[in-house]
Structure 1
Amino acid sequence: MSSIKKTWKAIRRNFRSFRKNRAYRARFHFTRYYEKEPIDEKTIFFESYSANNFSGNVFYIYKAIADDPRLKEYRKVIACNRKNHAEVQSFLEFHGFTDFELVEVHSHEYCRAIATAKYLFNNSTLPVYFIKRPEQVFFNTWHGTPLKTLGRSIISAPNEIGNTQRNFFMADYLLYPNEFTFEHMREDYMLNELFPGKYALNGYPRNYVFYQTSQQEALRRKLELTDKQVIAYMPTWRGTVARRSVQEQLLAVRYFLMEIDKRLRDDQVFYVNLHNFLNAELEFDGYKHILPFPKEYETYEFLSIADCLVTDYSSVFFDFANTGRKIVLFAYDEDEYFATRGVYIPYEELPFPRADTVQKLIREINDPVTRPYPEFVKRFDPWDDQDTAAMIRDQIFFGSNELHLIDGTSYRNGKRNVLIFGGSLAQNGLTTSLRGLLNHLDTEKYNFFVMFFKQRVQKYNYVISDFPKGISYISIQGWKDITIMDAFCQLLYYRFNITSGFVMDHIDRMFQREAKRIFAGNQFSDVIHFTGYERNIAALFGQMKDTHSVIYVHNDMRKEKDTRSNYHIPSILRAYRDFDNIVAIRESMVPEIMDLVPGIPQDKIKVVHNVNNIERILENAALPLAFDENTESTHTVEEIREILDDASVFKFIDVARYSPEKGLKRLILAFEDFSRNHPDSALFVIGGHGGEHRELCEYCQEHALKNVVLIQSLSNPFPILAKCDCFILSSFYEGLPMSIMEALILDKPVVSTNITGPREFLEQGYGELVEDSQQGLYDGMVKAYDHELDLKPFEARAFNEQALQEFYQILK
């Protein structure tokens, strides 16, 4: 596709998003208000549960503020959405409130409110485009003590933390209702080094309602429930952040409710409060004893009158425990649910009866005995008998000191914070070298943060879960905040390489703003663009002042510009000129870089070799061969094992992405010629992404090359590599491939085309260099097959020690 066609396609795509996507448009609206309008000292903004309803902690804070005559002059803005606007309006009016304005999320009014309100109260996250201004006061209460793991401990989605984490970084106050939540939130959102605000260790505003006994009695009388046993059912949502299986869950809920309804007595009322996704779909007309939570009451206001709570894995039981009343865990799918989720507390250790069938559930509900759980309340609800909403109001608006505040900076360890951009974490050499480095870094001297784009690492979450515990990370989520003129200048710069002063001024301001959006004002002593390609990161790091900036060069960039779509020459050349250091991964790259950027000082370029993950390579090589869920292969696991276990077959292997510069087509052609004379041979090619995979598969099929095994997307290639006889590299150009050293660590002889990069390493005696051609590859195969390679062993551990010292040198 020509560059003009690509540009036109991008313009159309962005215009379509602007026209159809309200959240996409909102970032333009917000940026205008953020840049142009002053802070309104008399505006207070409230949002709960991403504007899906108005309840919980934020409602009770609003109530405390709205009921206080001293704050009558303040404008009170509440977020809602298009679907619930009327419902929120009715809810507030039912409670007697008139002093409020509703704004729909992502609207002009909403964007103006969050950009200019002096005070902001939230219990979840504000949108990805929100940037807190220094004059604003942002109070985040969060919304529950967690049973299920959060942040980096989410098994299936550790990359999903981006917007939550940065909301925490921006907050002036983070409220936690117990030490348990406090510790886990700090650890799993990696707050210790980057949260500059205050932690408030106080009860949840919503939980104070459990201690308002006269209010509870009045509500039961009003609803004519004084002679009823009120049972509240509040199950958790069983979907994921990205997948909402509403219909599947509705089927299960309808079945259980039907069975429960048959078994309830006439003096029992079973009130149901499901997740928003399900509440909208479920009808209650056919039940005798089952009703929905009344919408006009706040959730906890109504929950406070329940005699019994039925839940499953929802954190609501932590809150309801304040009452000391019966709690039953209806866990009909416990094994299935926890198969993909972690928990902070073993489920079986909770002090509440569990039921996995309707019969057992009814038996537990009807049991007159409620087993006490005072230690549980002491641990998880130590401060809920306080009127925390009033305490927050008085702290923020009147300067009282009733909240138990802890300075967030007191948890900092005083080490330098080093930020490393790690790319997509895909199965390639860049990720291999990054993982090797991360597994050897000294976290006693530095705090290391790996940064990546949330969406781009979706398929490689296992890499994040495998980060060493001492390594933190930042997940970038959302679009940049830009103006219309910024968008125009971005088009001129990235599509047409226009670098006028006007254009670059807008580009620089845009990325200064982006630094605030992502990092919330946090500073890093060092920023390292480890992949060396991503243009937005080059621009972002270039705008981070008072920071030592480093950009890596992993390959011959003169040749990469012709094959990589994410390589923007002006961005990279600007980074080479402006960054403090350029890192080359081999000595021969230094003149290549100086040739690419004339006039650059040679002492600015540092050589830092890649670090090998030796122990992991050896451990993984000893594991049985196994495909990943997304692995594609021309042969089955059983067929591959049969080849590997056949000692009479001489086996070659190359590990490289399926891209033209890797020379895989000529490798297969050379092997095709070789195998005619040596039918007792096989060739394995294992690669990650790349457009050549399908073409090579078709060629092998058309030419009946049954002894060529092509595998795509295999996270652990080492069981195959360990059983092959020779590693053969066919690339046209390279930096210094990790795969060569991995083969040497597993004592495999290496044959490579005689190209810059591999040459300077292998000519030390570690491998055989052959002519950079199909014939050269053929000759290398013959030499390896005839056992004519005389190579010396690779001292991998000594190499690693040197490489680590080189890396630490650039941080000094």
Structure 2
Amino acid sequence: MNKYIRIPLRKVKRLVEKLTGFTIIVTKQKRINKTINHRTSDHAEYTYYYETLAIREHTILFESFHGKNMSCNPYAIFKRLVRDERFNDYQYVWALNDINNCPKEFLDLPNVEYVEVNSDSYLRYLASCKYLINNTSFPPYFIKKEGQVYVNTWHGTPLKTLGKDMNGSLGQHKNLMRNFMHTDYIIAPNKFTADKMIDSHDLRGIYRGKIAETGYPRVDLVLEDSINRKKQLGCKENKKIILYAPTWRGEVGNVSDEINKIIHDIKVLEKSLGEQYTILLKVHSLMQNHLKNSHKHISVVPEHVDSNELLSIVDLLITDYSSIFFDFIITKKPIIFYAYDQNQYKKDRGFYLDIEEMPGPICRSIFNVIDEVSNAQHYQDVYKEKLDFCQKTFLPLEDGQSTSRVIDAIFYNDSTYTYTVEDDKTNILMYCGGFLNNGITTSAINLLNNIDYEKYNVMVSEKGNFNEETSKNFNRLNEKVKKYYRVGSMDVLSNEADRQTHLFKYGAETFYLKGPKDYLDKEILSMYRREYKRLFGHSKFDIVIDFSGYVKFWTILFAVNSFNKKLIFQHNEMMKEYEKIVDNKYKHKENFNVIFPLYNYFDYVISVAEHTRNVNKKDLEHLVLNSDEKMVYVHNSINYTYVLDSVLLRETMKIGDKEYDSNEKSVNIQRQLVPDQSVYNFVTMGRLSPEKDHQKLIQAFVECYKKKEKIQLFIIGSGELQAELTSLIHSYGLQEKIHLVGQLENPFPLIQDCDCFVLPSNHEGQPMVLLECLILNKPIIATDIPGNRSVLENGYGEIVENSIQGLVHGMEKVMYEKPSYKVFDYKKYNIEAMEMLYKYL
């Protein structure tokens, strides 16, 4: 019979350490959970846990820098809580990707568990812990569920720009902004930081959580007793400590250049100062791994050492633009700013504050740094005024009790240091259609330039990624618009995905079978209500406007969620759009099969002109209940100042014997040909797509050209029919007379230089380009369709039969008879258009 002797694990550990000389760190299998399965795009596991798991009332999930280590504000809060008797019955969970980055003192605590980000256990805890404390952001699939308390502590007073203020690509802060909209508390060390975080992420007036201006818990760690910390890091007692903490500048996968510079600078510091100082280096984790393996002679601070605990033993700090220096100011010890690339960094990232006003010398070379170290004994005298300013502005609450204030706010609802940023304005959420080069984009930009921002906070929600075309248009939005970028994908259960597939396949047929009240299955309602929470958290919106009306995702999202009012726009004759074919495929049919019945979920369905509304009502009243009251019209607003100013923004140059615009960047040609004033010039503008019917205009131009050779035609725009139109022009041999000039950032100088604008469309809503030509007092010829008629009737232009001969007749009339038309009062028109909109808001 075999017998077994149980030996405690701690005794085995001590024996192995004694025999080998190595320190053994034991991790329990259940304590660190690895990712088992690859995370799928729909995050079905998290969604399942979100929907099914109950809240764990006395459990707190902490995460710092996406699981890199236990550090910063979450660590300071954890450290206080785990030693506070009031929280003895709490369970603490740390998102930690490497167990070696856990301080040993916490490794074997029975009420602390460690999970890897994105592991199955992580998903479970993220979906069920009562309290969530993070200093950056949770993944895009995260949703704060009812009953959870989310605290975002952030990680520093910003010298560098944040959010939308950063230079670089649009929406690079999108997941952080999304996270903020979920939080119950945003922790701020001072008013300056609170304001920058709120305004750089467009939260003012929208965010419904609380700002807790408490001071930073992590600064409490700088003020803690540090007797044993030097010894733990192997620092000699007889040497002072210099910490070099540079900002991350590299790119993931390419850190060699930055590492080489750091190695060089550390060697110079060691050679000059090594007799007096221990020189420690604190760097980004990507650099840390490289330095630790290849340059063991450099004293790189381990990942598990918290930066603020480290600052408590530092005698002099060398940094550049890292917010670590704000925390160190509390010690009043010397700070040296090694800003060798200040101008480039300012250009690439941007600053909120002038580094020259910060408390310390600015050095451009490592030798300047060494000179300033030798002057360190005079630091407090030289920089007293700047130190006092920074202390008063950025550290007024740092008295060692910031952590206690945060705990009181979160766990005991102490409102002494909290406030909200809500206001009494009406909050509007809009989707505008992707910001392509089209009339909807122009109309949206104009509306958002005209709306009253004293009454309304307006947030425009858009896709997460932009190309050159759409980013330029998006950047034209009024600076008062709050910009939101969709990030991540929907959290969907498999049965919900099946129901959505059925809805997208059958659409309006489902409506006929079920009727408006039951058109959307409970699974569709559930998944799109969950998606709204994922995107916008508990932010407050009173009105939603689907300004596009073409994208079923946004139409469903707005339709199924609760708001005081819901509006959806119709920018065209919708049944003709429904029937539009491009490349032998219906372009919009699938979307509209879903969208048209959803009109019943909106308060108003708004066409952009009365005639267009009448057509849409007639075509769709079989799908829209109460269509007489629900289907209304509001004219597009205009930006006449922009149009008139844009006419003046051009210079011209000659290439050979032809004159070209020299400052216009077009999509399809290098330079824009300037019209020859000795001939009669027609111009049109619009997407090169079927409904615009440029073929008809080209054929009408050919008929006119046979009778009068001194004419030209300029076609502004790009689109799917470009090759076909090019071939047609070449078939007539008129490529020197008919110019496809492409998409122009500023088309108005060209339009102004031409004699007459022609719009040959087969259907339109209310063409923005006609309104813009009226602002320029340009003669107009347009086909007799409802949208064109709504702009030009009563004498504002020439309305002609929608045919080749109709266009020929109009073009000859304008050329030879030179009729006069009514002058457009664009100021009065714009006031009336906005009043029409306000009536439905």
Query: What TM-score results when the alignment is normalised by the length of structure 1?
Result: 0.87
Q: How has the CA–CA distance of structure 1 residues 338 and 678 changed in structure 2, closer, same or farther, with 3 Å as cutoff? A: farther
- Find the counterpart in structure 2 of residue 6 from structure 1: none
Q: Which amino acid aligns with 2:100?
A: E
Q: Is the deviation greater in 706-715 or in 750-759?
A: 706-715
Matched ranges for 1:120-519 at <5 A = 120-212=132-224, 214-215=225-226, 218-219=229-230, 223-238=234-249, 244=251, 246-247=253-254, 249-262=255-268, 264-265=271-272, 266-267=274-275, 268-282=277-291, 285-286=294-295, 290-368=298-376, 369-370=378-379, 371-372=382-383, 373-397=387-411, 399=412, 401=414, 404-408=416-420, 411-455=421-465, 460-497=470-507, 499=510, 504-519=521-536
The structural deviation recorded for 1:293 is 1.9
Query: Which amino acid in structure 2 is aligned with residue 318 of structure 1?
Result: F
Distance 1:530 1:127 in 2: 29
Bigger mean CA deviation after superposition, 54-63 or 651-660 = 651-660
Residue 522 of structure 1: how far off its partner (Å):
3.7
Give the stretch that moved more between structures: 70-79 or 257-266: 257-266
Aligned match of 2:797: 767
The question of whether the paired residues in 2 share the 8 Å contact of 1:141 and 1:176 is answered with yes
1:692 corresponds to which letter in structure 2?
Answer: L
User: Is the 1:55–1:298 Cα contact (8 Å) retained in structure 2?
Assistant: yes
Indicate conservation of the 8 Å contact 2:189/2:213, yes or no: yes
**Is 1:532–2:546 an aligned residue pair?**
no
Corresponding position of 1:3: none
Mapping for residues 790-809 of structure 1, pairs under 5 Å: 790-809=820-839
Structure 2: how far apart are the matches of 1:303 and 1:671? 77
Q: Contact 2:646/2:746 (CA < 8 Å) preserved in 1?
A: yes
Could you say which residue in structure 2 is the equivalent of 1:65? 81
- Deviation of the 1:287 alpha carbon: 7.7
1:545 matched to 2:545? The reply is no
2: distance between equivalents of 1:720 and 1:374? 59
Q: CA deviation at 1:608?
A: 0.4
The match for 2:31 is none
* Rounded Cα–Cα distance in structure 2 between residues aligned with 1:329 and 1:682: 63
Q: Which amino acid aligns with 1:136?
A: Q
Q: Once the 2 structures are TM-superposed, how far is the Cα of residue 612 of structure 1 from its aligned partner?
A: 0.5
Matching residue's letter, 2:592: I
Label 1:712 to 1:628 Cα distance change in 2 as closer, same or farther (>3 A): farther
Measured in 1, the distance between the counterparts of 2:231 and 2:317 equals 16
Name the CA distance, whole Å, in 2 between partners of 1:629 and 1:718. Answer: 11
Deviation at 1:740? 1.1
Secondary structure of 1:443's aligned partner:
coil
Q: CA deviation at 1:158?
A: 4.9
Aligned AA (1:353): P
Residues 170 and 466, structure 2, Cα contact 8 Å, conserved in 1: no
Shift of 1:109: 1.6
Displacement of 1:43 in angstroms is: 1.6
Residue range with higher mean Cα deviation, 703-712 or 60-69? 703-712
Unaligned runs of 5+ in 1: 1-18
Is contact 1:433–1:611 with CA below 8 Å preserved after alignment? yes
Q: Which residue of 1 aligns with 2:668?
A: 633
| Cα distance between partner residues in 2 of 1:384 and 1:531 | 49
Pair 21,759 (structure 1): closer, same or farther in 2 beyond 3 Å: farther
| Two-structure CA RMSD over aligned residues (Å) | 3.1
In 1: Cα distance, 2:94 partner to 2:520 partner: 38
* CA distance in structure 1 between the aligned counterparts of 2:366 and 2:396, rounded to whole angstroms: 33
User: Offset at 1:385?
Assistant: 2.6
Correspondence for 1:597: 621
Distance 2:266 2:819 in 1: 76
Q: TM-score, normalised by structure 2?
A: 0.84
Q: Which amino acid aligns with 2:783?
A: T
**Aligned partners of 1:668 and 1:359: how far apart in 2?**
71
Q: What is the alpha-carbon distance in structure 1 between the residues aligned to residue 589 and residue 664 of structure 2?
A: 27
Tell me how far apart the structure 2 counterparts of residues 234 and 698 of structure 1 sit (CA, whole Å): 63
CA distance in 2, matches of 1:363, 1:720: 61
Q: Which moved more, 1:418-427 or 1:770-779?
A: 770-779
1:453-483 residue CA offsets vs partner (Å, 9 max, x unmatched): 3235885345454443443343332222211
Which 10-residue stretch deviates more, 769-778 or 574-583?
A: 769-778
Cα distance change of structure 1 residues 222 and 509 upon mapping to structure 2, 3 Å threshold: closer
Moved more, 264-273 or 650-659: 264-273
Aligned residue among 47, 51, 55 for 2:71: 55
Asked if the contact 1:155/1:465 (under 8 Å) is kept, the reply is no
127, 136, 139: which one aligns with 1:115:
127
Q: Which residue of structure 1 aligns with residue 684 of structure 2?
A: 654
Q: Distance in 2 between matches of 1:629 and 1:510?
A: 46
Q: Secondary structure at the match of 2:678?
A: coil
Matched residue, 1:557? 574
Distance 1:726 1:287, change over 3 A: farther
**Contact 2:76–2:221, Cα closer than 8 Å, also in 1:** no
C-alpha distance in structure 2 between counterparts of 1:701 and 1:54, whole Å: 69
Question: Secondary structure, in 3 states, of the residue corresponding to 1:322?
Answer: helix
SS of the residue 2:208 aligns to? coil
Preserved CA contact (<8 Å) 2:579 2:589: no
- Contact preservation (8 Å) 1:727, 1:748: yes
Displacement of 1:23 in angstroms is 5.8
Distance 2:227 2:470 in 1: 50
Report the 3-state secondary structure (helix = DSSP H, G, I; strand = E; otherwise coil) of the residue aligned with 1:434: helix
3-state SS, counterpart of residue 211 of structure 2: strand
Tell me, in whole angstroms, the C-alpha distance in 2 between the residues paired with 1:219 and 1:691: 69
Range that drifts further, 671-680 or 551-560: 671-680
Q: Is the 8 A contact 1:202 1:404 kept in 2?
A: no
* Match in the other structure for 1:16: none
CA displacement at 1:558 relative to structure 2: 0.4
Deviations 1:493-529 (A, max 9, x none): 1134363669622111211222222232344332211
Q: 1:335 to 1:602 in 2, by over 3 A?
A: same
User: In 2 relative to 1, CA 632–480 (structure 1 residues): closer, same or farther, beyond 3 Å?
Assistant: same
The residue matched to 2:757 in structure 1 has which SS? strand
Matched, 1:691 2:698: no
Local SS of the residue matching 1:145 = coil
Secondary structure at 2:823's aligned position in 1? coil
The alpha carbon displacement at 1:170 in A equals 2.1
SS of structure 1 residue aligned to 2:452 = coil
CA separation of 1:261/1:587 partners in 2, compared to 1, >3 Å: closer, same or farther?
Answer: same
Give the AA of the match of 1:274: V
Give how far 1:36 is off. Answer: 1.4
Q: Identify the range of structure 1 (491-500 vs 616-625) with the bigger mean alpha-carbon deviation.
A: 491-500
AA at the equivalent of 2:221: V
Which structure would you say has the larger Rg? Answer: 2
Measured at CA, do residues 423 and 74 of structure 1 come closer, stay the same or move farther in structure 2, by a change above 3 Å?
Answer: same
How far does the alpha carbon of each residue in 1:201-246 deviate from its partner, in whole angstroms, 9 at most, with x for none?
112111112222x41674267522434453333333347xxxx464
Aligned partner of 1:587 in structure 2 is 610
1:198 shift after superposition: 2.5
> Helix, strand or coil: the match of 2:260?
helix
Contact 1:550 1:579 in 2 (8 A): yes
Please state if 1:574 is matched with 2:584: no
For the residue of structure 2 that corresponds to 1:633, the secondary structure is: coil
Letter of the 1:623 counterpart: L
Q: Give the distance between the partners of 1:682 and 1:346, measured in 2 at CA.
A: 56
Following the alignment from structure 1 to structure 2, what is the Cα–Cα distance between the partners of residues 631 and 92? 62
The residue type paired with residue 255 of structure 1 is K
Letter of the aligned partner of 1:584 in structure 2? S
Deviation at 1:69, TM superposition (A): 4.1
Which one-letter code corresponds to 2:597 in the other structure? R
In 1: Cα distance, 2:206 partner to 2:496 partner:
29
- Once the two structures are TM-superposed, the CA of residue 765 in structure 1 deviates from its matched residue by 1.7
Q: How many corresponding residue pairs? A: 772
Matching residue of 1:623: 649
C-alpha contact (below 8 Å) 2:140/2:487 kept by paired residues? yes
8 Å contact kept, 1:667–1:777: yes
Q: Which moved more, 1:278-287 or 1:615-624?
A: 278-287
Match of 2:98 in 1: 85
Do the aligned partners of residues 322 and 769 (structure 1) sit closer, same or farther apart at CA in structure 2, a change above 3 Å counting?
A: same
